[in-house]
Structure 1
Amino acid sequence: MSLPWELLILLSFKACLAHGPVFTQEPSDIVFPLSSDDKQVFINCKAKGNPPPHYWKVDGREIKPELESHYSFVEGNLLINNPHVINHGGVYQCIATNTFGTVVSREAKVQFASRKARNTVSVREGQAVVLLCGPPPHYGEIKYSWVFNGQRGFLQQDARRFISQRTGNLYIAKVEPSDQGNYTCAVRNMMTNTSVLSSPTPVVLRRDVMGEYEPKIEVRFPETLHVSKGSSVKLECFALGPVPSISWRRADGNPLPGKIKINHSSGVLEIPYFRPEDAGVYECVAQNSRGRNAARGQLMFYDVEHLHWTHTLKDTQMAIDTNLQWECKAIGKPRPTFRWLKNGQLLTSQQGRHYVDSGTLSISRITLSDAGMYQCVAENDLGAVYASAELKVV
């Protein structure tokens, strides 16, 4: 008995609406401060599909909230309640799957920062001191600040005090009696807008007084630094001893670029929008009443290009016994490599009727078993990008 044509049209319409999963938001690396009052970690992942997708993995193991009380799913996102620094750190990946196939998100590393007690630092008046921040593992842009004696505002930098935005360490060129107290390093992740505070470091003054000496450059930029086109580079230079003055020049005889920004009090030289003509040898000179010292380093132009797609995949419908060739193209510096996934599983270079050659996937004599979700992954040392498409077989 044949079906009425109205029912056939309705079934065809519903079949067109059904499709494989597609990510609209993927998880990102995160460092969570265990000192935070909020004892929950929320890892975002959203995917659309009909029927709806989702589950999660950590370090390759499937997460099952019904068996692990710390984990729960909130509209497909992952919530970790009362996380533990050892038990819940790892590499998380969101898996979107339905009856049409599976796609995997990019990997996200989750780590937790805990606080350890700091030893007391004993210094003489007039002596220099370096307080180590010891930041936790982190990703993305980080801003370092220091808090003195639990005060509301952050410690202000001047010619005598310097905070390195490369290491987070606090440098005091010449200690005064008013510097005695507790120092706490504050680390803010600008990407996740989360902060973590170190344990306080007590600084106490000894009775004897330190004599004066020539400047010792304690904070210096690398001897060789590769800078990519269009980026902003900051060179740090700070000296210990009776408060020295800091000046900058190009050691190769060329004038400093007109666009540079110099913060004389904190010893930072910034070159925005780096270009080939900005490359060269830069020198920092520290001078006080006892003498002078200099540090230099070479900035080298590095032509880097962010990884991005120039040709990606599209959902495809193929008939049985036909041949398919999919091609994805991505450019970037360093040059990317490619791999292919079917329903989240790696396709080898030659697997039956499937043949992978860099950014090209060929499938000969298509069968119903070839239907599913396919992903092309382009990656280099700077990251990875994912492209996905569904293959329907009729």
Structure 2
Amino acid sequence: MMTKKSTPASRASLILFLSQMIAALEVPLDLSQPPTITHQSPKNYIVDPRENIVIQCEAKGKPPPSFSWTRNGTHFDIDKDARVTVKPNSGTLVINIMNGGKAEAYEGIYQCTAKNERGAAISNNIVIRSSRSPLWTKEKIEPKHVREGDPLVLQCSPPVGLPPPIIFWMDNSFQRLPQNERVSQGLNGDLYFSNVKPQDTREDYICYARFNHTQTIQQKQPISVKVFSMDSLNETISANLSDTDFYSAKPLTERRPALLTPVGSTSTKVELRGNVLLLECIAEGL
């Protein structure tokens, strides 16, 4: 079987033919295009109350699109609010709260629309909320008297912030309290002891809540824990201290585990799609 070799002339004709096909497929530069959203703020947008609020909305299209906003489902008239401006050639809103404005006044559900003669594009609903770091509720915390080997849970119960605060336990010297297979912090901030030892006795178990958006740290009142060893138990009771915590005093023995969390025979956890799901299991035992 013979094959025909290509000549320079045939190769040139092929290249010219392919070039003409590509040119025919090219989109004319002046062809109008409907808008497309290229950048927008996150759906759940927590803002710092000490800084201006910037709600982003960028779009492309030909001709360049115009922008409009709704707030809580109704038209947001930007021209009527002197604190609100729009970035040039953009739909991004800048709300000036640095000079006496309050971020809380601009909370709500925002949505941006980019529109030209070819159509419109709509952003996601953007929920604007101001960060909050409320104060801890005042409470009287009674000292914890615990028998050696028993389980213990120190409740943190931090204030409900936005976003939720980062919880950690420290002492009066701002040293982190050690955690291990016996002592662990739960997702709710509580400190769990599977069984206590005499060395757990101290007067300065302090739960701290750090609010990153407002860069503030708040602390719960110190919790005092006294662990009584079996050797000192009889002496403690005979000293007329409350013996209600020790009515079932028995020799220190090993025992099977029991769950501190989750509690009950079943539990339910709800999480948003795309978030990280954490399933917690903390047990006591000796």
Question: Given the alignment of the two structures, is residue 22 of structure 1 paired with residue 36 of structure 2, yes or no?
Answer: yes
Q: Please point out which of 93, 99, 109 is paired with 1:78.
A: 93
> How far apart are residue 96 of structure 1 and its match?
0.6
AA in 2 matched with 1:72:
T
Structure 1 residues 21, 233: CA separation in 2 closer, same or farther (over 3 Å shift)? closer
TM-aligned CA distance change 1:60 to 1:187, over 3 Å = same
Does residue 210 of structure 2 align to residue 186 of structure 1? Answer: yes
TM-aligned CA distance change 1:155 to 1:195, over 3 Å: farther
Correspondence 1:187-266 to 2 at 5 A: 197=216, 199-205=218-224, 211=245, 217-220=259-262, 223=266, 234-238=278-282, 246=283
Query: Does the aligned pair in 1 maintain the 2:69–2:111 contact within 8 Å?
Result: yes
Q: 1:143 to 1:200 in 2, by over 3 A?
A: closer
**Runs of at least 5 residues in structure 1 that lack an aligned partner in the other structure:** 1-12, 189-193, 239-245, 247-285, 289-394
Determine if the alignment matches structure 1 residue 123 to structure 2 residue 142.
Answer: yes
Which residue in the other structure is 1:176 paired with?
Answer: 201
C-alpha RMSD over aligned residues = 4.2
1:180 CA displacement: 4.2
**Aligned mates of 1:130, 1:220 — CA distance in 2:** 15
Contact 1:113 1:137 in 2 (8 A): yes
2:116 alignment partner, one of 83, 95, 98: 98
Partners of 2:39 and 2:57 within 8 A in 1:
yes
Shift in Å, 1:14: 6.8
Q: Distance in 2 between matches of 1:133 and 1:217?
A: 23
| Equivalent in 72, 81, 92 of residue 68 of structure 1 | 81
Whichever of the two has the greater Rg, that structure is: 2
Structure 2 distance, partners of 1:84, 1:30, is: 19
CA contact (8 A) 1:133 1:198 kept: no
What is the number of equivalent residue pairs in this alignment? Answer: 215
What SS does the corresponding residue of 1:103 show, helix, strand or coil?
A: strand
**Higher strand proportion (structure 1 or 2):** 1
Q: Structure 1 counterpart of 2:38, which letter?
A: T
* 1:285-331 deviation line (CA, Å, top 9, x unaligned): x313xxxxxxxxxxxxxxxxxxxxxxxxxxxxxxxxxxxxxxxxxxx
Instruction: Write the letter of the residue equivalent to 1:186.
Output: R
Which structure 2 residues correspond to residues 1-394 of structure 1 after superposition, within 5 A?
15-16=30-31, 18-32=32-46, 34=48, 38-53=50-65, 54-74=67-87, 75-82=90-97, 84=102, 86-118=104-136, 119-126=138-145, 128-136=153-161, 144-146=166-168, 148=170, 157-159=179-181, 161-165=183-187, 168-173=188-193, 176-181=201-206, 183-186=207-210, 197=216, 199-205=218-224, 211=245, 217-220=259-262, 223=266, 234-238=278-282, 246=283, 286-288=284-286
How far does the alpha carbon of each residue in 1:76-120 deviate from its partner, in whole angstroms, 9 at most, with x for none?
222333263542111111111123332211112122232222124
Which structure carries more helix by proportion? Answer: 2
TM-score normalised over the length of structure 2: 0.57
Amino acid at match of 1:52: P
User: Which position in structure 1 is the counterpart of 2:20?
Assistant: none
- 1-side partners of 2:104 and 2:276: how far apart? 36
Q: CA deviation at 1:47?
A: 0.6
Higher relative contact order (CA 8 A, sep 6+): 2
CA deviation after TM superposition for structure 1 residue 130, in Å: 0.5
Q: Percent identity?
A: 15
Instruction: Give the whole-Å Cα distance in 1 for the aligned partners of 2:68 and 2:175.
Output: 43
Aligned residue type for 1:235: L
Residue aligned with 1:42, SS: strand
Please tell me the residue identity of whatever aligns with 1:39: E
In structure 2, distance between residues paired with 1:70 and 1:147: 42
Range that drifts further, 145-154 or 45-54: 145-154
Q: Contact 1:33–1:114 at 8 Å: present in 2 too?
A: no
Alpha-carbon separation, structure 1, partners of 2:51 and 2:279: 38
Taking a change above 3 Å as real, the CA distance of residues 216 and 148 of structure 1, as seen in their structure-2 partners, is: same
**How far has the Cα of 1:23 moved from its partner?**
1.0
How far apart are the structure 2 equivalents of 1:143 and 1:129? 18
